[in-house]
Chains A and B, each alone.
Chain A
Amino acid sequence: MTAPLLSIEGVSVDLPTPRGPLRAVDNVDLSLAPGRTLGVVGESGCGKTMLSRAILQLLPKRARLSGRVMFAGRDLASLPAEALRRLRGPELAVVFQDPMTSLNPVLTVGTQIIETLQAHLGMDAAAAAARGAELLAAVGIPAPAQRLRQYPHQLSGGMRQRVAIAIALSCEPKLLIADEPTTALDVTVQAQILDLLAREQQRRHMAMILITHDLGVVAGRTDEVAVMYAGRIVERAPTLKLFARMRMPYTEALLAAIPKLDSPPHTPLPAIAGRPPDPTRPLAGCSFAPRCRYADGRCRAAKPPLADPERAGTLYACWHPLGVSEAASA
């Protein structure tokens, strides 16, 4: 087992709100080895994006971060601003959800790629322009030399996301965080972008965190999956194991909510009833208990720890895991 590239220990993020502090990320532990991919899955507002911002140290100014974010042996949270700045780009990079807003509208695509290359790799203008065109070609953009001279609004959404990926990849980062990279895109383009990310990840042997609300997205493209709910990780397992034997009722409910092609017409799509708990008022018990059909008094009274009672590599936080008899889990 190689040393982890990224290891997060007990990371919590608190945001001040008029109704009191909001715990957006609650005591999350994660680790990621070089060249591996981790999927982070959860519904809107579960803290996925805040977790990614915590790793990148790009939290809003008001937010308070606790815990340690170790990246390549350094604690990012205590790194001086200048050292952190040098890390971003060549080591850490990110692809955002919405390519409409993540590119500067008044600069050409070329300017945005070329300046990144010049700033980080010290290339001269001509070399950077050539490399920029190569990068655009690598992310599947036809006629890259012409595209370099175009503005973001002249490109389609999928093209823009490819450009954003090209910029993120430009300095050969060791870790790429893709924060819902396909949510703002057309369904037909989504698979292309995900395949592109997977291909580049393999080719460059970089570690990747793929954040999404869609279990289907992580299924074929990640080594490990962490399911988040209300700021906590509720189940974490190697991808194959997770889909073969999920333990957490929330994961099951998420999977059930994906429409299936082979179900007969007019089959009602099971939705998860209710809504996530108010994050400013933490529950005493399991935060999924109010929506869980297996919940009982114990679930409402005590928070289940994230643990691996079966010693099978699957961590879950549940008192009544699926497919495990009561006797075994107790």
Chain B
Amino acid sequence: MAVLEIEGDTALVSPVRKRRRAGGLFLAAVAWIVLIGLAAALAGVLPIQSPTDLDMLARREPPSAEHWLGTDQLGRDMLARLIYGARISLTVGLLAPVIGVSVGGCLGMLAGYFRGRFETLTVGGVDVLLAFPPLVFALAVTAYLGQSVLNITLVIGVLGIPAFTRVARAVTLSLSEREFVTAARALGATHARILLRELLPNVALPLLAFFLLGVAVSIVVEGALSFLGLGVPPPAPSWGSMIGEGRESLDIAPWLAFLPALFMFLSVLAFNIVGDTLRALTDPRPGTL
């Protein structure tokens, strides 16, 4: 009996404690995103060193007063490279899901609302895109169109379309069956009005949460592509390429790989936490049953 009571107690207490802890985590995540975002946006005016100036006499130096986070294998300031790297990671990380959410969201909503042949074609197309090996796609695009931030963003964005399409379609499908859509039709609403005013506000919330998860995934994918040498061409720093370059000196200067890895880890974690929290906040909407 005692065991049962204890279990009952924890069951009663834990949700409260969990929520409070999630609140702190959520704030920390938002703070990290704001910090990184500001640093990246203001990189040009911040009193940091150039991310591309070489100093062959001070290679792989540990953190010091002059180089707060040390220097890399070519003597470039790590802090400056991390901040300029954040620019690329965040640009790609934010823009790629924008492509996904706008194209995928439109396709998914239209497919879920109009059904019929359009839905069959859309779902079929999305399945084809899902089945296509993403790395081959990225290789092909960068090989033919060249390595640039724009091309990387396009590749990752296009690869994200299927997931957004599926989420938007699934949500729209279930919402279209709801009576308020029939009610809007009964009041003479046009298709455009139903899609934009009735369905979009309902679809936007789950899509936004999914968008933030998409940001996290895009940052990782950009890092992976850069690590493989398919990313932004050197000497421009990106977290992924920094990890790739630091890999060569893991034994003598491990921070060269670990620092960008840590930045990426924290950023991805932060976007995931924010996305999850937003989803948890928007999912059990009262009165939607």
Contact = CB atoms under 8 A, between A and B. Distances in A.
Given A85-B188, A88-B186, A102 B285 contact: no
A105 interface: yes
A107 B201 contact: yes
A217 to B, nearest CB: 20
B187 A153 contact: no
Label chain B's interface by main secondary structure: helix
B183 to A, nearest CB: 5
Q: How large is the interface on A (under 10, 10 to 19, 20 to 34, 35 or more residues)?
A: 20 to 34
A96 interface: yes
Contacts of A284: none
Interface in B121-159: none
Interface in B164-214: 178-180, 182-190, 193, 197-198, 201-202, 205
B286 interface: yes
Interface string A82-110: 00011111101110111011111111000
Interface in A129-161: 151-153
Contacts of A90: 188
Contacts, number: 75
A281 to B, nearest CB: 28
B288 interface: yes
Interface stretch (A112-120, A190-198, A200-208, A285-293): A112-120
B188 A104 contact: no
Contacts of A164: 183
A11 interface: no
Nearest to A170: B187
Contacts of B252: none
Contact of B287 (A119, A151, A168): A151
Interface string B275-289: 000000000011111
A101 B197 contact: no
Contacts of A105: 180, 202, 285, 287-288
B288 A153 contact: yes
B188 A89 contact: yes
A58 interface: yes
B197 A115 contact: yes
A96 B187 CA distance: 12
Contacts of B179: 96-98, 101-102
A233 interface: no
A87 B187 CA distance: 9
A94 B287 contact: no
Interface in B235-289: 285-289
A53 to B, nearest CB: 8
Contacts of B197: 107, 115
Nearest to A115: B197
Given A152-B287, A153-B286, A153-B288, A104 B201 contact: yes
A9 B235 CA distance: 79
Contacts of A89: 186-188
A153 B287 contact: yes
A94 B188 contact: no
Contact of B178 (A85, A101, A116, A171): A101
Given A120-B188, A153-B287, A106 B205 contact: yes
A317 interface: no
A56 interface: yes
A106 B183 contact: no
A104 B187 contact: no
A90 B188 CA distance: 9
Interface in A161-202: 164, 167-168, 171
A126 to B, nearest CB: 20
A58 B186 contact: yes
B289 A100 contact: yes
Given A101-B178, A101-B179, A153-B285, A93 B205 contact: no
Given A58-B185, A93-B186, A168-B187, 8 more contacts: A58-B182, A89-B188, A93-B187, A97-B179, A101-B180, A101-B289, A105-B287, A105-B288
25 contacts: A58-B182, A85-B188, A85-B189, A88-B185, A89-B187, A93-B186, A93-B187, A94-B183, A94-B186, A96-B182, A101-B180, A102-B180, A102-B183, A103-B183, A104-B184, A104-B198, A104-B201, A105-B180, A106-B202, A106-B285, A119-B188, A119-B189, A152-B287, A153-B285, A167-B187
8 closest cross-chain pairs (CB), A and B: A153-B287, A88-B188, A89-B188, A101-B179, A102-B179, A153-B286, A106-B201, A105-B288
